[in-house]
Structure 1
């Protein structure tokens, strides 16, 4: 069908949702908007599908949700043992339509006689992962668009291990979704009927208690004697209750919450973006921290799988740590508090765009580091694989503020990370250091690693074509040097090939294929290019290492400028 035919099918559908029909009428003269809404179907990326709310096959609405869940239902019926009895767990965040989408998912599952466990109120993504394992469910669904703008929502699928579905599983689910010919005619059962037949069970407090109990296993020390002052902001999302209870349970009672950001709000009205990766999200936390003379500021994104932290520098000003910096600190703290037996056969897992400083720190403790593709799903898969070997998971993280300490969750967990960060801050405070000073000591010991990331948003059909053009140019005309540093190797993850120029050698990359290009430079520097799987963006990642902060900043800036100039030339 052409997009015009699909649009006509929707507008002529007799029982089309009235809100969606009204929205279509309002944009009836905007051909560009209509084309973008209907020219394709929303597709799965690294963790599911995510898109702008609204009518159309390329938008998040009850019909695209129904189609996705119909495909998932068919998949688990064919591939998961006792799927109907085990059921599917569904959680949701504070975004527009999140609870409605959760109920729609249950209504489709119910039409297949598959039980749905739906949380009675909003919950974090890591709790969804935990609950799939806790309930021995066949799968899990998380309704969230993470830290995207308010007009977005999303749909993430979790497998029976509690991890995001693998590439193979996602491919099979997509195949099933594609067998759904008409998203407007997917069978559903009504909520009341599902509740009366026990096909929809509302869950909550019991799972919360089990998760909080599991949190005790990641503590490395007794925190009962502490005077640590903490400021916490959930950024209008899902983390308030679990983080607050977890901190008290761990012995931290001097916690000040940014009240203006404690209330769930789909508009995220106090921030330009509810993303702890962006420093503006910490403005209110910093103001409260200065009034309270707090030792550490912690902030979680709306679905509480990412954590940001700010700590005082030598001048007493709060500095927001990067994901790489916080990850390295947490890694060092975790490994330093394990004895020799606990480290035995231990493995640290990071992604290919995460700082190389983590590998250096892990090596210092005699621990091996494994690289995965970008996306925590790959870290979760590795943890699952360890169950069949003598390898032991010790820590996993990625540069985009995702961390995991305890494997009772199989996705990044900001609740775990929040508790670990506060415990770590308390430890270093007793040593007379702030987290910033502890980080500086790590740089002095291991070298000044510095990373950066540039994200270019190119929306719509035209934007997708431009992103493809950029990747094609980089692949066909690869860099030979950047910032005065020679390229030593090129890794093409789409072709699964690594070219080592100094040795005139070609190696296979033993990771799943993905449209990613990485350039390894002299002196431990690197650059990586990756189109996002869930957003209309292409991301450029950078890493350097020198002997000082000033030199690393200068080198990083030079390399970033050269890359930016190259991309601008391609787009012209």
Structure 2
């Protein structure tokens, strides 16, 4: 007797338009456990779209899933207007396995439905696609990328006409439209769209240059890596156009490579991911080191901790870069709303209150940050994401963020100071805000729900010896629990892009004077280590 899983697999094979995907599924069709994983359900719209492993079946990224997603998206777009809508769909892609094919398939579905499709000329950063949506007056944008995920993954990110990632109810409506798509063989396919020329990247660079002061210092030695991704050409072009010296680039990671051979995980936050970058920076006597993730929407920063080229290096946390950039913009006189998320450091709120600037706090993700208010001038999230020019890109942008870091670092260098010196100034005025993260990766997604249920049922009575003063549960709006005990805070939530549970930790250490800063950092590190242990216990780990 044929099992339901085998029946589902046979039905999928009959409708799969990709012979390579068909062959892959046939090779595992006798493996019930494998079929159960692949057919446990369709990929769901998470953070701005789809993301998953490259494999056949509904619970993977493949040509069949992409055709269905594109068909649902164009049907939804058509339903948004009673009048004919001649706005195009703009499609970008990175250099991951399958990205170009998925982009072309999306374009063919769009043109088959009678909508123009504009395809990027080659693999480009995600921020360029977000920029292009508004530059071309598009109805929507699609970026084929899995950002900093492992090499076996790919994804499908959707932007609305305002250039921002999609939010409810659009995500649920598009998902319903995808589920309503009939046999894939019946989806009409047209030509592969119009391929844009290099002007779109040039226009992005011109717009990006607006984030820095034309007359500021430019003496800065930068080490840079695109981490086997697509950021190098655009970043180097932008940096040179802004008047900075050419950066030293990590040769082993300079060209796009979908296998990411020199890193275990292509995320600048991961231990060891920036080792080659920091080695190059030390070797060349750079002032700062910058890493983009593979689709260049994130930016990691490190600075030399001593005056000599052979001195040590310190990589900054996302919260530190986020506050440094906000402080820099405020000092430049940029007026408006500064926003971050509920899991980021509380220091930004202190800066805004002290300097009389509107402050916004949102749920996690740039789809929320960029909608923090019409007066938004800056937004960041602790996961190395920064929006320094919402008028240019309504999303996180690792290129413009890196450019603004260079302006800040060059200005400080001209004064004989470093990024660390500016952080110390902020600690003296507002206290040392130290953050860390506890990340629990799981094989079974049910473990995440179990851990959330455990801490909800029995939240800790104390954190670091201080009574928990509040337990805030954001359900049903978001699966988030926030614990506060004095100046200590723990925020627990499932990851939106990976099979992880994340706990975001913050402690605030008072600083007596400049001489106390090293001791304050040691106290904060010890407190964060203890807080990690307490939080893990509260999660039942």
Calculate the TM-score normalised by the size of structure 1: 0.89
Shift of 1:529: 1.0
The question of 1:428 aligning with 2:429 is answered no
Residue equivalent to 1:506: none
Q: Unpaired segments of 5 or more residues in structure 1?
A: 387-391, 496-512
The equivalences for 1:488-507 within 5 A come to 488-495=469-476
Distance 2:394 2:102 in 1: 23
Residue equivalent to 1:508: none
Residue equivalent to 1:222: 215
Distance 2:176 2:84 in 1: 19
Match of 1:201 among 183, 194, 210: 194
Give per-residue Cα distances to partners, 1:93-142, cap 9 Å, x unaligned: 11000000000111111221111100120011111111000000000000
Match of 1:562 among 511, 520, 534: 534
Give per-residue Cα distances to partners, 1:140-184, cap 9 Å, x unaligned: 0000001000000000100000000012111111121121244x4
Residue equivalent to 2:316: 321
Residue equivalent to 1:549: 521
Shift of 1:550: 1.5
Distance 1:148 1:247 in 2: 27
Shift of 1:82: 6.3
The question of 1:454 aligning with 2:438 is answered yes
Give per-residue Cα distances to partners, 1:509-562, cap 9 Å, x unaligned: xxxx1111111221x211111112222111111111112112211111111101
Give per-residue Cα distances to partners, 1:364-413, cap 9 Å, x unaligned: 32212110000010012235xx1xxxxx2221000000001111211000
Shift of 1:286: 1.2
Residue equivalent to 2:12: 10
The equivalences for 1:318-357 within 5 A come to 318-338=313-333, 342-343=334-335, 346-357=336-347
Match of 2:285 among 279, 293, 305: 293
* Partner-residue secondary structure (3-state), 2:122: coil
* Partner-residue secondary structure (3-state), 1:268: coil
Residue equivalent to 1:107: 108
Distance 1:347 1:380 in 2: 10
Match of 1:374 among 364, 384, 389: 364
Residue equivalent to 1:30: 31
Contact 1:232–1:285 under 8 Å retained in 2:
yes
Residue equivalent to 2:493: 530
Distance 2:326 2:84 in 1: 37
Distance 1:226 1:282 in 2: 25
Go from structure 1 to structure 2 and tell me whether the alpha carbon gap of 1:133 and 1:82 turns closer, same or farther (over 3 Å shift).
farther
Contact 1:544–1:555 under 8 Å retained in 2:
yes
Contact 2:5–2:39 under 8 Å retained in 1:
yes
Residue equivalent to 2:62: 61
- RMSD across aligned C-alpha pairs, in angstroms? 1.7
Go from structure 1 to structure 2 and tell me whether the alpha carbon gap of 1:314 and 1:361 turns closer, same or farther (over 3 Å shift).
farther
Distance 2:470 2:224 in 1: 43
Contact 1:332–1:362 under 8 Å retained in 2:
no
Match of 1:540 among 500, 503, 506: 503
Match of 2:384 among 398, 401, 416: 401
Go from structure 1 to structure 2 and tell me whether the alpha carbon gap of 1:554 and 1:81 turns closer, same or farther (over 3 Å shift).
farther
Contact 1:166–1:381 under 8 Å retained in 2:
no
Shift of 1:296: 0.6
* Partner-residue secondary structure (3-state), 2:389: coil
The question of 1:74 aligning with 2:75 is answered yes
Residue equivalent to 2:49: 48
Distance 2:197 2:371 in 1: 27
Residue equivalent to 1:98: 99
Shift of 1:477: 2.2
Contact 2:214–2:242 under 8 Å retained in 1:
no
Distance 2:5 2:388 in 1: 46
Distance 1:536 1:302 in 2: 20
Shift of 1:8: 2.0
Contact 1:10–1:16 under 8 Å retained in 2:
no
Distance 1:72 1:399 in 2: 30
Contact 1:458–1:536 under 8 Å retained in 2:
yes
Is 46-55 or 364-373 further displaced after alignment?
Answer: 364-373
Distance 2:54 2:238 in 1: 34
Contact 1:4–1:35 under 8 Å retained in 2:
no
Calculate the TM-score normalised by the size of structure 2: 0.94
Where do 4+ consecutive residues of structure 1 move more than 3 Å? 1-4, 80-84
Distance 2:481 2:372 in 1: 22
Distance 2:198 2:218 in 1: 29
Residue equivalent to 2:516: none
Q: Unpaired segments of 5 or more residues in structure 2?
A: 511-519
